[in-house]
Copies of this chain bind each other. A is one copy, B any other.
Amino acid sequence: MATSMELPPILMLGPPLFSHLFESRNTHRYRFLKLPSLFKPYSLFEFLETQNTHPSSIQVVLCNPLQPVTADVIRSLPSLSVIATTGSGTDHVDLSECKCRGIQVVAVGGGHECASEDIAEMALGLLIDVMWKISAGDRHVRRRRVPSTNKESFTFPLPSSPKLGGKQVGIIGLGRIGMKVAKRLESFDCIIKYHSRNKKPLVSYTFYSNVVDLASDIDVLILCCPLTEQTKYIVNKEVMLALGKDGIIVNVGRGALIDEKELVQCLIKGEIKGAGLDVFENEPNVPKELFSLDNVVLSPHVAAFTSECFTDTVIHVNL
């Protein structure tokens, strides 16, 4: 049997959530080198030295979306062939460097059936939570202490029209995730509309080439598209004002799809009704103005972090 030092190393940056499950199932196959964060003033070389590992022996990096994998990092690992990241995007990885080197980059989110289901579930969960104020109600119950026999204190004010059923929902990005969101919304008798780069020929939902027009016609806006130069701030102030004071936004894509400063202002001023956010523009920063609002649900970018998915992905790239 191989001693652990003879096993091929895998470099884990972050490390990604749930990597421990993958790790525990594969300790007989790989040696796991866990560098907590590249943000710390700690060089990759120094770390590998403490692990008695030469940079050229690293072929695989596992990371999370909070972990920039820069050209410098990639260049320090001459044998690197796979970067697997949790999350739905790869904008934290220097893709042009990877392209030059022929390094395969795999994101758990978006590309895989399993992760897109997870993200769709999270979108529905955040939406129902915002509408029915589930998290706010839970806070209310936990905060409410004595007297427990006070019947009045048990009640909790709900918005005047919390129902999801029958609402008009606009989806930006009708790809694998967006389609799964739409399927689930249909079971709530919602009317689906969408915006994407191109009209989908096989889809009967109403297509909008213009996001402001879409926002004017819906009650709920769900963001499921990747972040690109074209989609950055696709939800700007104009879109939010078009959505209006009864409108709700759910973002399970990327933080920078929304102009976050404007979003915060719209939420504070009641220019939109509420928001469910799994992603933020400058993660891990969450605008502190949101902490006191009951019309937002704040989620620490969990949608693509499930162990089942992570394992599936890692198996998929055939480490």
Contacts and interface: CB of A to CB of B under 8 A. Distances in A.
Interface string A101-122: 0000000000000100110011
B302 A141 contact: no
Copies of this chain present in the complex amount to: 2
Interface residues of A, number: 70
Contact of A18 (B142, B158, B163): B158
A79 interface: no
Contacts of A135: 129, 134-135, 138-139
A91 to B, nearest CB: 16
A81 to B, nearest CB: 26
A140 interface: yes
Contacts of A18: 158, 160
A309 B124 CA distance: 22
A149 B21 CA distance: 27
Contacts of A36: 152
Interface string A141-183: 1101000111111111110111111000000000000000001
A222 B160 CA distance: 26
Contacts of A306: 158, 161-163
Of A135, A150, A157, A298, most buried by chain B (CB within 10 Å of CB) is A135
A272 interface: no
Interface string A258-292: 00000000000000000000000001111010010
Contacts of A140: 300
A149 to B, nearest CB: 7
Given A37-B151, A140-B300, A156-B300, A307 B161 contact: yes
B164 A121 contact: yes
B17 A155 contact: yes
Of A18, A162, A285, most buried by chain B (CB within 10 Å of CB) is A162
A187 interface: yes
A186 interface: yes
A128 B132 contact: no
A299 interface: yes
A115 B21 CA distance: 42
A163 B308 contact: yes
Closest 8 CB pairs of A and B: A154-B284, A125-B128, A187-B187, A141-B298, A135-B135, A135-B138, A156-B300, A184-B187
Interface of A: 14, 17-18, 21, 36-37, 39, 64, 66-67, 114, 117-118, 121-122, 124-126, 128-129, 131-135, 137-142, 144, 148-158, 160-165, 183-184, 186-188, 283-286, 288, 291, 297-302, 305-308
11 contacts: A18-B158, A117-B163, A118-B163, A118-B165, A124-B124, A125-B125, A142-B291, A148-B285, A156-B302, A163-B308, A184-B187
